[in-house]
Amino acid sequence: MTIGIDKALKDGDYSAIPHYKGALYVFKSLQNRTTTVYDKYGLGEYGRYDEPFTEFVWTISDSTKNVIGYDCFMAETDYHGRHWTVWFTPEIPLQDGPWKLCGLPGLILEATDSTDQHSFIATGIENSNQEIYPIYEPRKYDKMKRIDMLKAYSDYQKNAGATSRILIMDTPDGSKVNMDAPKQRKANSQNIDFLETDYH
């Protein structure tokens, strides 16, 4: 991190400083064969949980496809409420992929769930000598169970409008801000859900 700060001060290039761009972080430990997920589950509330790699049970087919110049094979798995179809390449012998997906004899370059609501597609690969920094936690992450964290985040999203209204209407100086009652949201016909749906 010191190198990144020095570069920023000297050249004005802030890209080398580790910083948070979002709330979700997935850290895979090849040594322990576990995935640790860091994510938001409420207003200013953050949690983390661990999972073993062994939760993935893959079925590999002989279907092939070219993805960004690499010959890939198709594999499928059911994982936490969704059915995933992925394309992996043995030309890059890393048992890894986007998000939590891993465990195949090659890098996963494309993944789509059966509802087409979620997908990951590689657009390029480049070599880098950029140091990979360990996860450091400026926030407090509560250790939780995965299902409990997903349920809490779902509840937070359902009630976010009411929470925001309370925060806006009750100001620190005690004055009140008048707001119209929230409009009832229409049901989403596409029924888009989290990447994992088994918390229902």
More confident position, 169 or 125: 125
Q: Is residue 4 part of a domain?
A: no
Q: Any idea what the Cα angle at residue 23 is, between residues 86 and 182, rounded to 5°?
A: 105
Q: What is the domain extent for residue 88?
A: 21-125+133-175
- Which of 49-58, 74-83, 118-127, 131-140 bottoms out in mean pLDDT, i.e. has the lowest? 131-140
Q: Is residue 199 part of a domain?
A: no
More confident position, 26 or 182: 26
Task: State how many domains the chain has.
Answer: 1
What mean pLDDT comes out for the span 159-165?
Answer: 61
Q: Is residue 187 part of a domain?
A: no
Percent of the chain with pLDDT over 70: 70
From the CA atom positions of the chain, what is the Rg in Å?
A: 21
Q: Is residue 6 part of a domain?
A: no
Confidence of residue 72 (pLDDT cuts 50, 70, 90): very high
Q: How far is CA 131 from the centre of its chain?
A: 21
Q: Any idea what the Cα angle at residue 154 is, between residues 139 and 147, rounded to 5°?
A: 75
Which residue type is seen at 187? A
Q: How many CA atoms lie within 13 A of 147 on its CB side?
A: 5
Q: Is residue 97 part of a domain?
A: yes
pLDDT of residue 51: 93
Q: Is residue 163 part of a domain?
A: yes
Burial class (CB in 10 A: 0-12, 13-18, 19+), 110: buried
More confident position, 68 or 17: 68
Beta strands in 13-69 (DSSP E): 25-29, 34-42, 45-52, 59-67
Does pLDDT of 30 surpass 80? yes
Mean pLDDT of the chain: 83
More confident position, 66 or 170: 66
pLDDT tens digit string along 73-128? 999 999 999 999 999 999 999 999 999 999 999 999 999 999 999 999 999 999 88
pLDDT of residue 189: 46
Q: Is residue 183 part of a domain?
A: no
pLDDT of residue 191: 61
Q: Is residue 116 part of a domain?
A: yes
